[in-house]
Chains A and B, each alone.
Chain A
Amino acid sequence: MATGSGAAAAAADAEEKESGSRMITLTSNEGKAFVVTEASARQSATIRSMVDDGGCVDKGFPLPNVDSKTLARVIQYCDEHGNKEAHTVDERAALAKFDKDFIAELDADKAFLYDVTMAANYLHIQGLFALTTQCIADTIKGKTPEEIRTAFGIEYDLTAQDEEEIKEEDTHA
């Protein structure tokens, strides 16, 4: 707000920011534009800091690391958490329900879960990143390494030397 032309303008700006009425354009790596409220976009710490640094709000933000399908899903999360209130018990319960359903869908599609996790990390969307990493951790829990590889489609690439090292460090006691 360095260039504000007086207190009134700054106040109006703050009010606008507060109501989240300003719209921001996010562009996927496929060039598809998504217009979201500022409140929604501010769920992303990456975008929030660019906006606060007095950045290129009008030009929008190109996101070269996020494809359209992933961005649409990420925005779905940000809209829910950015545009809705969470003051009452009911409102918080509704958000928790949203999160539960949201992650259940991703859990069923591990490839998509990966894309959303990467996007949440890149955009620094804390709540979403916590949700997806917890989901990944829950998938790991109680499984043998073999079962984990199957669940995530990971190929075994440990060499004989790796195995020997692991064996040594686990048994040197």
Chain B
Amino acid sequence: MADRTTRSTPPPPPQWAELPTDCLVHVFRRLDLDELASAAPLVCRGWRRAAADPSLWRALDLRRDHLARFMPWGALAGALARLHGVHRFTLAGFLRLCVARAAGTVADLALPPLLSSSSSSSPSELDHVAAECPALRRLALPELSPSDDARLPSLVPRWRRLTHLELDSKPSSFPAVAAALALHCPDLAVLRVTSGSVKPEDAAAMAASSPLRGRLRSLCLDRCYLPRQELFAILAGCGGAAPLREFTARWCVGFDDKDEEVLARGAAIERFDIGGSRLLDEPDGDATNGDDYCDSSYVDVI
């Protein structure tokens, strides 16, 4: 544009405050949640209006960089503390803010560890999520506090649209959770449990004859302690009326990934992957303390 190069030192006209809300929402979609929470609404009234659009808060991945963000020295905590004189800005506070902005429309939520282990009398973050996020489709939960673990089965009925559930650690209330999922979440298709010890009652809750399995298309038990016997209980009767399309139990302890009988029982499943699983948790040369069941090699380190 050779004809207008005279516009060299532009004191930008006041148009940016007027950018239509729908345009701004498209811009804000490209920001991280913390920028959306801590910077955009404080720019001007128009931007505040756009940043409050619930559609921007439907997918909340609070796992990404959560340590850097929510530790007291983190950038987000610092920014919010400066702006609002808030002493500490916690994950709990940020979660509440995001959930409030979404106005009941959160569809996708991933929570990091460090959920405050609140006393059983005060409502926890998990209760808050259950009360305020009825439209959840995908939910990923960290290892739960004992009180949240006990409460989980009673919260599941709030999430009737759930399709994916990911549990970083198998809760001890798992059989009750499975029963609630089967009863209240007709669209549930994917269940992932990625650490913990699978006990006979857990295996029974996931067996082909269980109500839960009628729903599941994909089941992942990677990194669990999964004895061969429990694995067989889960695999028994595979390929029935509502066949599982995908089953993975990678890097497990309790059976061997070359065990021919295990492979034979999984053969009916479209995608069957047990790579990296071992019968025993041998110390691979590293100095472990010999506590087989609590070896850090199959506990996710954050």
Contacts of A73 in B (CB 8 A): 1
For residue A144, give the distance in angstroms from its CB to the closest CB of chain B: 7
Q: Is B12 touching A111 in the complex (CB atoms < 8 A)?
A: yes
For residue B96, give the distance in angstroms from its CB to the closest CB of chain A: 4
| 21 A–B contacts, CB within 8 A, in A order | A111-B7, A111-B10, A133-B26, A133-B27, A133-B30, A134-B30, A137-B31, A143-B39, A145-B40, A148-B40, A149-B43, A152-B12, A153-B11, A153-B12, A154-B43, A162-B45, A166-B41, A167-B84, A167-B85, A170-B97, A173-B92
Contacts of B19 in A (CB 8 A): 114, 117-118
- Of chain A, the residue at the smallest CB distance from B3 is A69
In the bound assembly, the distance between CA atoms of A112 and B41 in angstroms comes to 24
Residue interface bits B62-103, CB-to-A below 8 A is 1, else 0: 000000000000000001100111100010110111001000
Q: Is B84 touching A173 in the complex (CB atoms < 8 A)?
A: no
Given A117-B23, A140-B31, A143-B39: A154 in contact with B13 (beta carbons within 8 A): no
Contacts of B285 in A (CB 8 A): none
Q: Is B13 touching A111 in the complex (CB atoms < 8 A)?
A: yes
For residue A53, give the distance in angstroms from its CB to the closest CB of chain B: 24
Of B4, B23, B37, most buried by chain A (CB within 10 Å of CB) is B23
Question: Of B4, B12, B47, B100, which is within 8 A of A110 by CB?
Answer: B12
A-B pairs under 8 A by CB, number: 112
Q: Is A158 touching B45 in the complex (CB atoms < 8 A)?
A: yes
Taking the complex as formed, is B259 at the interface, i.e. its CB lies under 8 A from any CB of chain A? no
Given A137-B31, A141-B35, A143-B39: A172 in contact with B14 (beta carbons within 8 A): no
Of A69, A141, A154, most buried by chain B (CB within 10 Å of CB) is A154
Of A117, A143, A173, most buried by chain B (CB within 10 Å of CB) is A173
4 shortest interchain CB distances as A-B pairs: A153-B12, A173-B93, A137-B30, A152-B16
In the bound assembly, the distance between CA atoms of A171 and B88 in angstroms comes to 10
Taking the complex as formed, is A72 at the interface, i.e. its CB lies under 8 A from any CB of chain B? yes
For residue B156, give the distance in angstroms from its CB to the closest CB of chain A: 24
- Of chain A, the residue at the smallest CB distance from B91 is A173
For residue B23, give the distance in angstroms from its CB to the closest CB of chain A: 5
- Of chain A, the residue at the smallest CB distance from B37 is A170
Question: Of A136, A154, A167, which is within 8 A of B17 by CB?
Answer: A154
Q: Is A155 touching B17 in the complex (CB atoms < 8 A)?
A: yes
For residue A85, give the distance in angstroms from its CB to the closest CB of chain B: 27
For residue B260, give the distance in angstroms from its CB to the closest CB of chain A: 45
Taking the complex as formed, is B42 at the interface, i.e. its CB lies under 8 A from any CB of chain A? yes
Contacts of A111 in B (CB 8 A): 7, 10, 12-13, 15
For residue B220, give the distance in angstroms from its CB to the closest CB of chain A: 33
Q: Is B30 touching A153 in the complex (CB atoms < 8 A)?
A: no
Taking the complex as formed, is B44 at the interface, i.e. its CB lies under 8 A from any CB of chain A? yes
Taking the complex as formed, is A157 at the interface, i.e. its CB lies under 8 A from any CB of chain B? yes
In the bound assembly, the distance between CA atoms of A171 and B28 in angstroms comes to 22
Contacts of A152 in B (CB 8 A): 12, 16-17
